[in-house]
């Protein structure tokens, strides 16, 4: 029996009341709010995002790019946003058939830490990876956390429903 990748999450009712949950707002949307920002929660989020991308009908190539860039943004939250731990992250993915675009937002409520001048051989490449994989990516640090918005513009002829 295959494990349900949403297992760590509870379904969220129409009022959005449950914390740390997964909610399908529309068939095109995936919303995971107030998920503990710990490494153990990233794999289930990655699986939920990949499952969503397949349900929407994204190509394997776009699915790969969406999942990898989003995972990197979530890993950055775990690694950098909360000094001493204890924070949460939000993940929201949407597909717009009107704009033929996939958008993924990863947000935290921690503190922005600018990239180090010399991060060493194993760090410091996450934002450039995200920007390479997405058609467009914006990083918005602020006093109440950081939001990473990633967008993939799809070819209308090969887009889901196209």
* Per-residue pLDDT tens digits for 71-111: 999 999 998 899 877 899 999 999 988 888 999 999 999 98
Answer whether 0.75 is exceeded by the pTM.
yes
**Domain-embedded: residue 149:** yes
Using alpha carbons, select from 7, 122, 130, 111 the residue that is nearest to residue 70: 130
Domain containing 142: what range?
A: 22-114+123-153
Instruction: Give the mean pLDDT of the chain.
Output: 81
Q: Are 57 and 107 in contact (CB under 8 A)?
A: no
Per-residue model confidence (pLDDT) at position 83? 82
Q: How confident is the model at residue 25 (pLDDT cuts 50, 70, 90)?
A: very low
Query: Is residue 59, in this structure, part of any structural domain at all?
Result: yes
Number of domains in the chain: 1
CATH number of 79's domain: 3.30.565.10
Q: What would the two tokens of residue 84 be? A: 């001493």
Sheet holding 88-96, edge to edge: 22-23, 29-36, 88-96, 101-108, 145-153, 136-142
- Asked if the structure places residue 8 within a domain, the reply is no
């Amino acid at each position: 029996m295959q494990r349900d990748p949403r297992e760590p999450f509870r379904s969220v009712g129409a009022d959005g009341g449950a914390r740390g949950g997964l909610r399908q707002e529309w068939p095109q949307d995936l919303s995971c709010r107030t998920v503990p920002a710990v490494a153990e929660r990233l794999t289930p989020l990655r699986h939920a995002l990949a499952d969503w991308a397949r349900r929407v009908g994204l190509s394997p190539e776009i699915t790969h790019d969406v999942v990898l860039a989003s995972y990197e943004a979530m890993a950055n939250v775990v690694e950098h946003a909360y000094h001493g731990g204890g924070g949460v992250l939000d993940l929201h993915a949407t597909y717009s058939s009107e704009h033929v675009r996939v958008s993924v937002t990863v947000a935290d409520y921690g503190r922005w830490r600018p990239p180090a001048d010399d991060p060493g051989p194993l760090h410091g490449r996450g934002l450039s990876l995200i920007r390479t994989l997405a058609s467009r990516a914006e990083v918005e640090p602020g006093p109440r956390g950081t939001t990473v918005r990633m967008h993939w513009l799809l070819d209308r002829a090969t887009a889901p429903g196209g």
